Chain A
Amino acid sequence: MRLTIEVHAKMPISPLTLGGGGLGWGEKLLHFAKSAASPTPQSPPVKGGEAVNKGQTTHNNNILLAIFFVSVLLSMVATPSSASTVRALRLGYLDSPGSALARIAAQKGHFREEGLQVELVKYSDSGKGLEALETGVIDVGVFAVGDSLRAIAGGKNFRIIAGGGTPIKNTPLAELDRELQAENESRGVLVLIPPSWPNAEKGTIIQLTAAWIRAYRTHQQLVTSSSRPGKLVHFDPNPDYWRLERIWHSLGLQDAAMKRDFLANHVYEEIYCDALDRLLLGHIDPILQQLFSKAICTPNCCPASAARL
């Protein structure tokens, strides 16, 4: 089973794919060409001093660059078959109710909505799944929280990009005992990527996370419309650093030699915030608003580009 990401320059842009790092190749080139044509580049970091001093020469170079990239773009549009970028990925998941969002995302077409074609690989054991993630057999993993955190504590350089489902224990003791609560939460699942994902593919990671959030929304809608009583699993796509930190400490994983930010360096909350931000560009959705309200995202303290204002 393989996941193939195929992006064409002619790929239609859905309103939800605009903005952020989730641009397709065609849009990326247009965006770059637009930026290059602008006398004040908009993508950070922009070297402030140079932007002020280079003046007309920079502007002319930018125009030439813009012409070059628009030419490349046009040539891609003219020959779509040769211009396609094919990328193969696999998403491995633990065969448990907590992984339901992976199946929903695949069955309801949420990966496709994000420009991705995802194939799922089922694992009956998180340990084997994490091994597959480390060796590159799979590219994304949805595995048990406890096993994943232990693997990270043991030196595996995975990055957590989203949360998943956690089994619910409706006992008064579980509510009172924080350790019992953490133990239960460690049986839930989360979404990880291996260190081999380059930073250049941040856009694809955001797309994956956005598909995951869409799956959560679909799940919530299904639950609301369903007449079946009771709830066995609590779903939350938020990686939630502070929840993970609580579990991390309950499992005794913080070694004295570890730096204080050891766990934080493995939780990629920025991706979740970016994905949520992008989805919120669409119509006002109460489920997304609720997720946004719970998320702790670093606010953008300033205009994305003062030059445009």
Chain B
Amino acid sequence: MKKRIIALTLLLSLIASSVIAADLPKLRVGYVPEPAHGLYFLAKEKGYFKEEGVDVELFQFGSAAEGVAAVKAGKLDVGTFGTTAPLLFISKGSEFTFIGGMMVGGQAIITRPERLPELSGKDLKVYKGKKIGLVKLSTGDVIFRGALKKAGIDVKKDLSFVEFGSAAAVVEAVKKGAVDAGLVWPPHFSLAEKNHGLKVAHYIEEFYPDYTCCRIFAHTDKVNADPDTYRKFLTALIRAYKFYKTNQEETVQIYTKSLKIDEDIVRNETYVKKVADSNPDPLRKGILDFWQHILAAGYVPQDYPVDKHINTEIYKQALDSVVKKNPKDKIYQEMLTFYKKNN
């Protein structure tokens, strides 16, 4: 009898939760399998999305191009596919709006162990005269070029680049000595260290703090039609950010379970080496910088006012609502300071 009551209670609560979920506005969210995209898993697992009043369905993509195309076709309500891909689409006329962020930093320069001494130090000049392997238009490519320019290094004269089709091909080229160093992103550099004995010479973050990687964007029409749902979505991510900053072990477990990546790699990248930060801030200034680096590299022949495709207001409203409820919370106060600095 007792078992039946428990079963009935469980059934009723299941029905109740599905009824509640059915009433909530739905958002189909696309992401790529990286630990730094983990705020989605935390918000889902801890029930923040539903608590904030939005029913989120997560869809994993292996290709940024396909993900962005899905947002364009209206098959996704939110996309998280780098900074380059949405910017390229916007420059060609797609009506996308950046509303938040997911990943900050994360790119590394790998080399063979015997080359490490000549690439050490905190000066980008060590890369002068070197041959660098990269994936064209990847975040690493765009930001490394930007960092070199800021350091007064001529990217056309002082060093050379070899373009590859994938991060795996870059790792292979470094391993074989076809290039002096290579630019890759997580978890490729961790895997290159673990599986091939290669070494990280630098994280680009050391030369270019808080640069943007994956941004959260949506179709402009959808954002304009229902900003409230997007605000709730971002509120849940802000709460997930706090969880990720304050519950390390559980976060590692949730990321590992969700991504099925080696637990050590997740822990190492997320908390030990801190190769990337997950932060829902839109980083407007970072997006604008990124666009200028794309233009400077000659990847797009004409400028376009991308600023009108960045909406920081929805995120600010979400952050303000969380701060209002938790005025003394240190993490949320830090997020506010970070927002003011970067937007």
**Interfacial residues, chain A to chain B (CB-CB below 8 A):** 39-40, 42-49, 51-52, 241-242, 245, 259-264, 270, 273, 277, 280-281, 289, 292-293, 296-307, 309
Contacts and interface: CB of A to CB of B under 8 A. Distances in A.
B60 A46 contact: yes
Interface string B137-175: 111010000000000000000000001011100000000
A108 B95 CA distance: 43
Given A296-B299, A302-B32, A303-B188, A48 B258 contact: yes
Residue among A241, A259, A293, A298 with max Cβ neighbours from chain B (10 Å): A298
B85 A302 contact: no
B33 A303 contact: yes
B139 A305 contact: no
Interface stretch (B67-75, B112-120, B239-247): B67-75
B59 A47 contact: yes
B62 A305 contact: yes
A52 B44 CA distance: 11
B258 A303 contact: no
A261 B261 contact: no
Nearest to B213: A301
Given A44-B66, A273-B65, A299 B33 contact: no
Given A297-B137, A301-B81, A280 B165 contact: yes
Interface string B21-34: 00000000011111
Contact of B31 (A48, A296, A307): A48
A309 B191 contact: yes
B86 to A, nearest CB: 10
A45 B106 CA distance: 24
Given A242-B300, A299-B82, 12 more contacts: A44-B63, A52-B257, A264-B89, A298-B65, A299-B141, A301-B82, A301-B139, A303-B33, A303-B167, A307-B33, A307-B260, A309-B261
A309 B88 CA distance: 28
B59 A48 contact: yes
Nearest to A280: B165
Contacts of A309: 187, 191, 261-262
A304 B63 contact: yes
Contacts of B95: 260-261
Given A48-B58, A260-B93, A261-B92, A299 B66 contact: no
B259 interface: yes
Chain A: interface secondary structure? loop
A212 B250 CA distance: 52
The contact size tier of chain B is 35 or more
B339 interface: no
Contacts of B60: 44-48, 51
A298 B257 contact: no
Nearest to A42: B62
B61 A45 contact: yes
A218 to B, nearest CB: 22
A296 B298 CA distance: 10
Interface string B44-84: 10000000000001111111111111100000000001101
A259 B95 CA distance: 10
B42 interface: no
Q: Nearest 4 pairs between A and B by C-beta?
A: A261-B93, A48-B58, A260-B93, A306-B33
Nearest to B36: A302
A281 B168 CA distance: 12
Contacts of B40: 48
B134 to A, nearest CB: 10
Contacts of B63: 44, 300, 304
Contacts of A296: 88, 137, 299-300
Contact of B62 (A44, A262, A273, A281): A44
A48 B257 CA distance: 11
A62 to B, nearest CB: 14
Contacts of B136: 292-293, 297, 299
B275 interface: no
Nearest to B32: A302
B34 A306 contact: yes
A231 B66 CA distance: 39
A300 B62 contact: yes
B33 A302 contact: yes
A44 B85 contact: no
Contacts of A261: 92-95
B64 A300 contact: yes
Contacts of B84: 298-299, 301
B252 interface: no
Given A301-B139, A306-B33, A45 B257 contact: no
B214 interface: yes
A259 B336 CA distance: 37
A301 B92 contact: no
Nearest to A264: B92
15 contacts: A44-B59, A45-B60, A45-B70, A51-B60, A260-B93, A264-B93, A270-B65, A270-B69, A296-B299, A298-B64, A299-B85, A299-B138, A300-B62, A300-B166, A309-B262
Contacts of B70: 45
Nearest to B137: A299
B109 interface: no
Contacts of B259: 306-307
Contacts of A52: 41, 257-258
A292 B164 CA distance: 9
Nearest to A274: B65
B166 to A, nearest CB: 7
B236 interface: no
A280 B88 CA distance: 23
A241 B302 CA distance: 12
Nearest to A259: B93
A305 B33 contact: yes
